[in-house]
Structure 1
């Protein structure tokens, strides 16, 4: 049986589709959902919030998953954390797609969604910094990984929201593939693992030898 929150969301989107976002009032949404104004505001601080996903709950679930990750399991944790968000949108189905269409025409909704993206980036970054900050270029790599994971997820999610990709299985596979690219920085710089050989003469001083070695390493 739908909860009061579910009924309010369904009523809001139906009214928005029929008469437009700006023309719809909170009282109309509450009445259509069979609740009162006070019930609406128990669930949603503003009319904008009835449109948006429950980002607080999603961020909490993402945080919980990343907090339990071991160093060896951090890549899996990042994939599963992104999967938490993707699964929520896929479960919403047409509601998520209606929200996407609404955000394209209502600046207040679009701005709120853009701001929410940065909250996910900051949360991912918080955990990735914990894993990488002591490694070479760790702080930089942490910021790159956090941003890349969110960008990769959202790139594919938008395809699904637009209807370019329709089924959930394909969408999940595309996100997984996109995360392959995003997580490359997590694994560190790629090297061939081979030795660097520097040949120098006995007539060269130590400082010149050091410069030769540095130059060779820079080329390798």
Structure 2
């Protein structure tokens, strides 16, 4: 999204209008039924303008996921908590409401992310952002003695990212009926029992 910095204010406003129109349609009728012509009509703009900013429908989902990840990390950091477990719960508290408010978009993204160029790239970038955040938590937890020092921080970070990804995909595949925040807490609690430093 660094290319946005080179756009004029008017071009950025038009791009945002197109993005919001696409998200509205995808949420309402799904990605497959959403067309570039429909997006142009919803945005009140020429079809060429839509293609100029988003050459593929998949790019709308890719940008959604990038924004989703940024929003989650921003919300988790704004809690200003310390300690591995507290910061982890702050992350879940951020993910849950944002995911539930965007169920249709999360479902669309999760169903297509694996093996699709721009979506796979977006998921990889989001994983890197999440991995950086988790590594901060792991380093803090080991430095404070909350986590076992003999656990490899890189391996643990990868486990955390994997559990987050798998739990979110399972939540989508099971129909998004349960609170995602609770699903994440339950799974991470099991892991935490193995990595928590014993008080004995």
TM-score (norm 2): 0.66
User: What does the per-residue CA deviation read over 1:3-26, in whole Å, with 9 as the maximum and x for residues that have no partner?
Assistant: 94432213356584137xxxx55x
Please name the residue that 2:128 is paired with: 118
- CA-CA distance at 1:97 after TM superposition: 0.9
Bigger relative CO (Cα 8 Å, ≥ 6 apart): 2
Give yes or no for contact 2:131–2:157 (8 Å, CA) kept in 1. yes
Q: Say if 1:17 and 1:9 are closer, same or farther in 2 by CA, change over 3 A.
A: same
Equivalent of residue 154 in structure 2, options 132, 140, 143 = 143
**Residue in structure 2 matched with residue 92 of structure 1 by the alignment:** 102
Corresponding residue of 2:163: 152
Farther off after superposition, 6-15 or 83-92: 6-15
Q: Which residue of 2 aligns with 1:70?
A: 82
Q: Deviations over 1:7-55 (max 9, x none)?
A: 2213356584137xxxx55xx36413224369869xx777544213212
Shift of 1:131: 3.9
Separation of aligned partners in 2, 1:151 and 1:126 = 16
TM-superposed CA distance for 1:141, in Å, is 4.9
Structure 2: segments with no counterpart, 5+ residues:
1-15
Deviation at 1:180, TM superposition (A): 0.6
Partners of 1:174 and 1:180 lie apart in 2 by 10
Aligned residues: 175
Counterpart-to-counterpart distance in 2, 1:32 and 1:8: 10
Q: Does 1:59 align with 2:73?
A: yes
Alpha-carbon offset, residue 57 of structure 1: 2.5
Counterpart contact for 1:144–1:185, Cα < 8 Å: no
- For structure 1, which segment, 134-143 or 153-162, has the greater mean C-alpha deviation from structure 2 after superposition? 134-143
Cα pair distance change 1:101/1:85, threshold 3 Å:
same
TM-score, L = length of structure 1: 0.61
In 2, the alpha carbon distance for the partners of 1:15 and 1:29 equals 12
CA distance in 1, matches of 2:121, 2:189: 29
Higher radius of gyration, 1 or 2: 1
Q: 1:69 to 1:81 in 2, by over 3 A?
A: same
Root mean square deviation of aligned Cα: 3.5
Q: Secondary structure, in 3 states, of the residue corresponding to 2:181?
A: helix
- Whole-angstrom CA distance in 2 between matches of 1:173 and 1:134: 26
